[in-house]
Amino acid sequence: MDHLVKEVLQKGLFNIEEHGDEQGHFMAMIQRFADVMSQFSDSARICDYFVRIIIEESSFENCSILLWDTDRQKLSLTAAYGLEDQLGTAAWRRYRPSLLFDVGEGISGQVFGTRKPVFIENSEKQPIPELKDAVITPISLACIPLLNIGVLNVSSFHPLEFPIQSRRNWETLGNVISYFLVGLQGPRDAGTNGRRLPMEKLDLPISFPAPDSYISDLVLDALPHGICILDKKGDVIRLNRAIEKLQGDNFPEIISRSPAILFQDPNVFGKLLNRVSESESGQAEKTDVHLMNSTGEAYLADVYLVRLNDPSGSMGYLLVIEDMTRKKAFSDRIIQSEKLAALGTMAGGVSHDFNNLLMAILGHIQLILTQVQDEEIRRRLQNIEKAVYDGSNTVRRLQRFTEREREPKAVASTVDVNEAVKDVIELTRPRWKNFMERSGQLIDLQLDLSGDCLAAINASDLREVITNLLLNAIDAMPEGGSLGFKTRCQGEHVIIEISDTGIGMSKDIAEKIFDPFYTTKGIGNSGLGLSVSWSLLGRYGGDIQVRSKPGKGTTFVLKLVRAEALKAQAGGPIVEGTSSYRLLLVEDDPEILNILRDMLRLKGHRVMAVNDSEKALGVIDSIDFDLVLTDLGMPVVSGWEIAKRVKEKDPKIPVVMITGWGAQFEDEDLTARGVDLMLAKPLSWDKLLGSIEKML
């Protein structure tokens, strides 16, 4: 047998996919087959060892090999072995040494004739044809073709499953046995009587120039990793197909050349070769190596180098290349998702208090707006109001970062991206214009906005993404420069390009900028802006990419789902009811309690405000109300208990819960817990009054 094949097998490099323990058993069988082949030359004796090895390494109870007898023109039993033989409770008499099959006779004859394996998991569901004078009646059976020289049978007295990968493994094992036997016999017969088996009748899948070369090529080409066989100088003498696939079209000829030309840094291979040639183990590996394909693009791989020695004393090497590009990308995505999940857990702990603060700001602004007539003051207050809403959306998104896939409840609205761009420019003008001008630097703003660019995304989310990118662009131009916005429609997508003429970034940095907490701005910067932007767009089916070169500036490309114009836009404030209702308001935060109370009283409602949830239970029992509003998280008695007590008194009384944890309960039916409506803080005056009118 070709010594190179034996070395490959003994090194454990014959990879049969990725199936843990089963893969280990198949590897063990092939390694033991190789040992047997090096010790014996008689095919019948070798087959005896093969069937024993299969029984010892598999879960089957019986195994047999039948080879083609050219004189009798029949399949003849060559070797058989069972679990009972191994335990010493049975003898050869259990099997029929004179067992013969014609082509097409029984399962063995059918498999030999068609060259297609048969797998029977349970004979009660898929009957096995009866065989006259049979001494073994299995429940499960696998019959594997051995090319055109015979068949391999394995069976068990209990049902067994044959998943797709397991079937492939057994077919591969059958091919390996066939190649071993053909390689051993060469032009001689692989049967039991030393009869010749004409090579031209083997009907092999490829040409058969010589047994050793044939086996080596088949084994090498079957490997999923790239393989280079090297001579003692380290030059390539043989490649497998996986190498050609890795390197791509127009792959240059490297036979008789060093494989160092595959490496982005050729010195890496030189150091690896020196280490292997001088080490006692004769093997070494290096992970995360940058290799180059035929187009000049780098890809990440793990490489293994093994020293091979044959009995004559000559030396060579085996270079194994495993492409890690997909695994690395998948691993990076998992790590990024885990970071975002950790961020979501952290954000959940502070969201309640933060939303209460926003509620206080929003409430005071909206109450002041009713008394202010100056348009300039009103405009500034309205900008603060808009910022509060954007802040609340930020908290809500942070709470949902534990989800790894697109948020199915993320509701998109129709947004004019041009209006969003203009809003962000106006809101950030003090930063990008006034501040830069005071320091003597200028920002040249360039707008190229196409009409009718409507995107399906929440307006606040889009404004936040654009704001993050705009401020990053300003930071990248400390000496001033050009800032450009370009929008266009492209098929079913809307494209927004935000470009600057700043310092740019390297490829390594560009690959990390969307990772949470990664920043190049030093201490004091959270490193969350771009990761949040990436997550936001992903939730609405969008994407964000970056193009940048050091010293040449940066362009971010936002790809959004295009939306049709709404047929009718809701306009004006919510129509308020004229009725006056008796309301109970329960809230443990005095400032929020007073703001909500004032909002409701200004619209004519009679409100009893209670900041002690324990006392609120007594109020509910003694006084009748048209509707109850309650906070969720309160000391001693929670909002759930308030709702329960209200429904116990009168199931018809509506209960509205107002909470800073509202994002966790949005679109969830809470009627079974006594809550008719859940409102998330901060909420507007109009939304509060409109919700009450709707419930009553």
**What is the per-residue burial (b if ≥16 Cβ within 10 Å, else e) of 194-207?**
eeebeeeebebeee
Does the reported pTM lie above 0.95? no
pLDDT class of 409 with cuts at 50, 70, 90:
very low
pLDDT class of 407 with cuts at 50, 70, 90:
very low
pLDDT of the residue at 91:
47
Distances 691 to 577, 653, 686 between C-alpha atoms, Å? 11, 14, 8
Closest alpha carbon to 215 in 238, 243, 248: 238
Best-predicted range by mean pLDDT (1-10, 115-124, 335-344): 115-124
Mean pLDDT across the stretch 258-270? 89
pLDDT of the residue at 414:
84
- Is residue 10 within 8 Å of residue 158, measured between CB atoms? no
pLDDT class of 649 with cuts at 50, 70, 90:
very high
pLDDT class of 229 with cuts at 50, 70, 90:
confident
Residues 498-537: tens digit of each pLDDT: 999 998 888 878 877 776 555 655 433 444 567 778 877 8
pLDDT of the residue at 484:
92
- Would the CATH topology of 3-214 be identical to that of 223-323? yes
| pLDDT exceeds cutoff 50 at 680 | yes
pLDDT of the residue at 11:
40
Mean pLDDT across the stretch 359-382? 81
331-561, which class in CATH? alpha beta
The verdict on domain 3-214 having CATH code 3.40.50.800 is no
Higher pLDDT, 329 or 372: 372
Distances 148 to 78, 387, 669, 672 between C-alpha atoms, Å? 15, 77, 66, 70
Query: Would you list the DSSP string of 196-211?
Result: ---GGGS--SS--S-H
- Is residue 359 within 8 Å of residue 262, measured between CB atoms? no
Higher pLDDT, 521 or 99: 99
Alpha carbon distance 685, 596 (integer Å):
9
Closest alpha carbon to 563 in 365, 413, 426: 413
pLDDT class of 14 with cuts at 50, 70, 90:
very low
Alpha carbon distance 629, 643 (integer Å):
9
pLDDT of the residue at 152:
95
- Structure tokens, 339: 């970071």
Share of residues in the chain with pLDDT > 90 (%): 14
Mean pLDDT across the stretch 478-498? 90
pLDDT of the residue at 476:
86
Higher pLDDT, 179 or 485: 485
pLDDT of the residue at 536:
78
Out of 121-125, 243-247, 393-397, which region has the weakest mean confidence (pLDDT)?
393-397
Share of residues in the chain with pLDDT > 70 (%): 74
Higher pLDDT, 373 or 90: 373
Beta bridge partners of 118: 143
Mean pLDDT across the stretch 99-109? 86
Alpha carbon distance 49, 57 (integer Å):
12
| pLDDT exceeds cutoff 90 at 153 | yes
Q: What CATH topology corresponds to 223-323? A: Beta-Lactamase (3.30.450)
* DSSP E strand boundaries for 329-480: 414-416, 443-449, 454-456
Alpha carbon distance 571, 574 (integer Å):
9
pLDDT of the residue at 573:
41
- The chain-wide mean pLDDT, for the chain, equals 77
| pLDDT exceeds cutoff 90 at 88 | no
| pLDDT exceeds cutoff 70 at 244 | yes
Sequence-separated (6 or more) residues with CB below 8 Å from residue 158: 139, 140
Amino acid identity of residue 257, one-letter, is R
- Structure tokens, 637: 């008695």
pLDDT of the residue at 183:
66
| pLDDT exceeds cutoff 90 at 439 | no
pLDDT of the residue at 145:
93
Residues 277-328: tens digit of each pLDDT: 888 888 888 888 888 887 777 888 888 898 887 655 567 888 888 888 777 7
Q: Is 362 exposed, middle or buried (0-12, 13-18, 19+ CB in 10 A)?
A: buried
Alpha carbon distance 512, 615 (integer Å):
54
| pLDDT exceeds cutoff 80 at 348 | no
Which CATH code for domain 582-695?
3.40.50.2300
Nearest-Å Rg of the Cα atoms of the chain is 38
Q: Are strands 118-120 and 100-101 parallel, antiparallel or unpaired?
A: unpaired
Mean pLDDT across the stretch 443-452? 87
DSSP tag of 262: G
Mean pLDDT across the stretch 326-341? 68
Q: What are phi and psi of 598, to 5 degrees?
A: -65, -40
| pLDDT exceeds cutoff 60 at 170 | yes
**Domain boundaries of the chain, sorted by first residue:** 3-214, 223-323, 331-561, 582-695
| pLDDT exceeds cutoff 60 at 590 | yes
- Is residue 149 within 8 Å of residue 197, measured between CB atoms? yes
Q: Is 568 exposed, middle or buried (0-12, 13-18, 19+ CB in 10 A)?
A: exposed
- Is residue 602 within 8 Å of residue 370, measured between CB atoms? yes
